[in-house]
Amino acid sequence: MVEVTDVVCSLCGCVCDDIVLEVENNEIVKVKKGACSVGKAKLLGHERIKSPAIRENGELRECSYDEAIKKAAEILYKSRRSLLYGWSSTVCEAHKVGVELTEDLGAVMDNTASVCHGPSVLAINDVGLPSCTLGEVKNRADLIIYWGANPAQAHANHMKRYSYVSKGYWTEEGKKGKKMVVVDVRKTMTAKMADVFVQIKQGKDYQVFSALRAILRGHEDVVPDEVGGVPKEQLLEVANMVKESKFVMTFFGMGVTHTGARHNNIVNAIQFTRAAHLHTKASIMPLRGHYNVAGINQVCTWETGFPFAIDMSRGYAWYNPGEQSATDLLYRGDCDAAMIIASDPGAHFPGESLKHLAKIPVIQIDPYANPTTEFADVVIPAAVSGIEAEGNVYRMDNVPIRLRKILDTDYLPDEEILQRILTEIRAMREKEGE
Ligand code: SF4
């Protein structure tokens, strides 16, 4: 038995990097410390896709990697406009090959940000982001605001490692010296732990941010007795907490990005943070879901100039979310093949978009079967990044972290699968040119 320390969890955007495992006979037998229950379940492993497969007469037939990769290359080569979607649960090295493949095919590349924090990315494009690292939050923040987010259930280690419960250089008392405000439409598990719970009406985030901005800027007289279901008294209480704190940190989730004013909610959240700067130090950060959704935004931006929904059909990168984002493209029936990697649109996309996805040839690259497998025409199993394959990822605060390989496997890493598909496509093109 070998003890492996400083293991990184490749599940959620917290990317916890202090996990201790016991490994015996090339198997993780125990997660000794560091991981939350979902992280633990991933590290201990569960049902995998056993073999590459190709759908024939409605059934998946097991085949070799060579055959599945060749079939995937054929589908993409014949396609006039393909969609390459997913990318948030794999490493940046795979993203880089993905961009090359997209460019080679003149395809559309989109990632899961377009159905989660895409509005946040648009807001940041508009007005920037006064943000910081999670290390700064741990060491400095004495007021934590979670807005439209439920980390107690979605990012189980977040409060313990980085925010409300953590102890840092200037926050050595931990929770005792901190306050937490939760803003949400319902009393979540996180809200139950808060010093102040602000229950707002669904879709009224924009108005509540505006009211807080007005108070922080000294215009409380213009704020009515109630805004978005929140009494003025409580808005004044929260504004006072902001003014009296040394460092305010706001984390926001999809409860804000996908309601009411959408990306303008986030613009207003950022302006609320700037208004807090009149009184104290303040910072803001999206609570990113998948462990490397921040990484795919990074790679796409440095390779193409844009973070998601990138169309390469013109021979250069074209960006117009709402037109080239995956759900819109599928809704309009505007692609004739799809490659889904490290994500599950089958479980998360709207029905109308899925109808088209079910009609066109679909290639799936993933370690695990999911609802997308049910209609995939080519299924290519991959090594699990952070357990069976190494690579770089970006934590939710855009700090890069290296995932290590812990176990040996016969499964191929995503990067190699993509590179082999690209090589096949280039060989097909060369052959046709002859
Ligand atoms: S909080 Fe997230 S990254 Fe940390 S152990 Fe749990 S699932 Fe893994």
C-alpha distances (whole Å) from 67 to each of 62, 74, 339, 365, 432 are 10, 11, 16, 14, 20
- Distance from the alpha carbon of residue 154 to the mean position of ligand 1, in angstroms: 9
Instruction: Tell whether ligand 1 has an atom less than 6 A from the beta carbon of residue 15.
Output: yes
Q: Whose CA is nearest to atom 2 of ligand 1?
A: 12
- The rounded distance, in Å, linking the Cα atoms of 71 and 61 is 13
Render 167-230 in DSSP notation, one character per residue. --SS-TTGGGG-EEEEEESS--HHHHH-SEEEE--TT-HHHHHHHHHHHHTT-GGGS-SEETTE
Question: pLDDT tens digits for 271-290?
Answer: 999 999 999 999 999 999 99
pLDDT value for 434: 63
pTM of the model: 0.95
Instruction: Tell whether ligand 1 has an atom less than 6 A from the beta carbon of residue 36.
Output: yes
Sheet architecture: strand order including 362-366: 59-62, 53-56, 378-381, 362-366, 337-341, 82-86, 108-111, 310-311, 318-319
- Distance from the alpha carbon of residue 169 to the mean position of ligand 1, in angstroms: 23
C-alpha distances (whole Å) from 69 to each of 138, 145, 363, 381 are 45, 47, 10, 11
- Distance from the alpha carbon of residue 341 to the mean position of ligand 1, in angstroms: 21
Instruction: Tell whether ligand 1 has an atom less than 6 A from the beta carbon of residue 155.
Output: yes
- Distance from the alpha carbon of residue 17 to the mean position of ligand 1, in angstroms: 9
Average pLDDT over residues 199-228: 97
pLDDT value for 46: 84
Quote the percentage of the chain above a pLDDT of 90. 97
Residue 259 has pLDDT above 90, yes or no: no
- Distance from the alpha carbon of residue 115 to the mean position of ligand 1, in angstroms: 21
Question: pLDDT tens digits for 326-371?
Answer: 999 999 999 999 999 999 999 999 999 999 999 999 999 999 999 9
- Distance from the alpha carbon of residue 131 to the mean position of ligand 1, in angstroms: 22
Residue 221 has pLDDT above 70, yes or no: yes
From the list 150, 146, 121, the residue with the least C-alpha distance to 293 is 121
List of residues 6+ apart from 197 with CB closer than 8 A = 181, 182, 184, 187, 191
Instruction: Tell whether ligand 1 has an atom less than 6 A from the beta carbon of residue 395.
Output: no
Instruction: Tell whether ligand 1 has an atom less than 6 A from the beta carbon of residue 407.
Output: no
pLDDT value for 239: 98
Instruction: Tell whether ligand 1 has an atom less than 6 A from the beta carbon of residue 285.
Output: no
pLDDT band at 433 (very low <50, low <70, confident <90, very high): confident
Phi and psi for 428 in degrees, rounded to 5?
A: -65, -40
Instruction: Tell whether ligand 1 has an atom less than 6 A from the beta carbon of residue 11.
Output: yes
pLDDT value for 232: 98
pLDDT value for 235: 98
Q: Which of 116-120, 214-218, 249-253 has the lowest average pLDDT?
A: 116-120
First CA to last CA across the chain, in angstroms? 56
- Distance from the alpha carbon of residue 232 to the mean position of ligand 1, in angstroms: 37
Residue labelled with tokens 């990113």: 288
36, 20 Cβ separation under 8 angstroms: no
pLDDT band at 258 (very low <50, low <70, confident <90, very high): confident
Domains and CATH numbers, the chain: 2-42 (no CATH), 48-116+291-433 (3.40.50.740), 118-286 (3.40.228.10)
Question: pLDDT tens digits for 61-98?
Answer: 999 999 999 999 999 999 999 999 999 999 999 999 99
Residue 427 has pLDDT above 70, yes or no: yes
Instruction: Tell whether ligand 1 has an atom less than 6 A from the beta carbon of residue 403.
Output: no
Q: Which residues of 259-286 are buried (b: 16+ CB within 10 A; e: fewer)?
A: bebbbbbbbbbbbbbbbbeeebbbbbbb
- Distance from the alpha carbon of residue 195 to the mean position of ligand 1, in angstroms: 24
What average pLDDT is seen over the chain? 96
- Distance from the alpha carbon of residue 78 to the mean position of ligand 1, in angstroms: 40
Atom of ligand 1 nearest to the CA of 19: 5
Q: Which of 40, 155, 251 to mutate to test the pocket of ligand 1 (most atoms within 8 A of CB)?
A: 155
Q: Whose CA is nearest to atom 8 of ligand 1?
A: 39
Rounded to the nearest angstrom, the gap between the alpha carbon of residue 364 and the centroid of all alpha carbons in its chain is 19
Q: Whose CA is nearest to atom 5 of ligand 1?
A: 35
Tokens of 76: 């993409």
- Distance from the alpha carbon of residue 45 to the mean position of ligand 1, in angstroms: 14
Average pLDDT over residues 105-123: 95
Instruction: Tell whether ligand 1 has an atom less than 6 A from the beta carbon of residue 12.
Output: yes
Instruction: Tell whether ligand 1 has an atom less than 6 A from the beta carbon of residue 9.
Output: yes
Tokens of 288: 């990113």
- Distance from the alpha carbon of residue 4 to the mean position of ligand 1, in angstroms: 17
